[in-house]
Amino acid sequence: MSGRSTPRTFVIDGSNIHDIPSFYDEINRVFMGGEDWKLGPSLDALDDMLYGGYGALQGSGPVVLIWRGMERNRTDLGVEATRAYYRAKMDAPDRYNVARINDDLAALERGEGATYFEIICEILAGHPRIEVRAES
């Protein structure tokens, strides 16, 4: 025996995702169902959850994450959603680094900045125990 554990499989249903808030609704449905609290719309919270400290990913071991409709969600969480995300943060200068967010928004508008979808993909790629499989 190799000693490797069997991966746990989770499925994100991209048809439930239309924007950033609905992305977190789906993440909470898939990963936080057994918790008495939910993730807010935070990339840092998403990253923390993926480390396996709480929710359905608690613990270690390999994970297969099947993301159905992932390519459609690339648009749902694309430039328009990212622009709205940055603009909302700029409306709360007491909570966020507005200068950095303004730079991020300017890069997005020039076609050089990452979209929210791309940021999510970067976060997922930072978790080697999680294998993401896109499905139509």
Contact 74, 117 (CB under 8 A): yes
The whole-model pTM stands at 0.92
Q: What is the pLDDT of residues 3-59, one digit of tens each?
A: 568 999 999 999 999 999 999 999 999 999 989 999 999 999 999 999 998 999 998
Return the pLDDT at 53. 84
Helix (H), strand (E) at residue 106:
helix 98-109
**CA 104, CA 24: separation in Å to the nearest integer?**
22
Return the pLDDT at 4. 65
Place of tokens 């690339």: 74
Q: What is the pLDDT of residues 51-108, one digit of tens each?
A: 998 999 998 799 999 999 999 999 999 999 999 999 999 999 999 999 999 999 999 9
Return the pLDDT at 1. 46
CA dihedral 43, 44, 50, 55 (to 10 degrees): -100
Return the pLDDT at 3. 54
Residue 136's pLDDT band, with cuts at 50, 70 and 90, is: confident
Q: Other C-beta atoms within 10 Å of 13: how many? A: 14
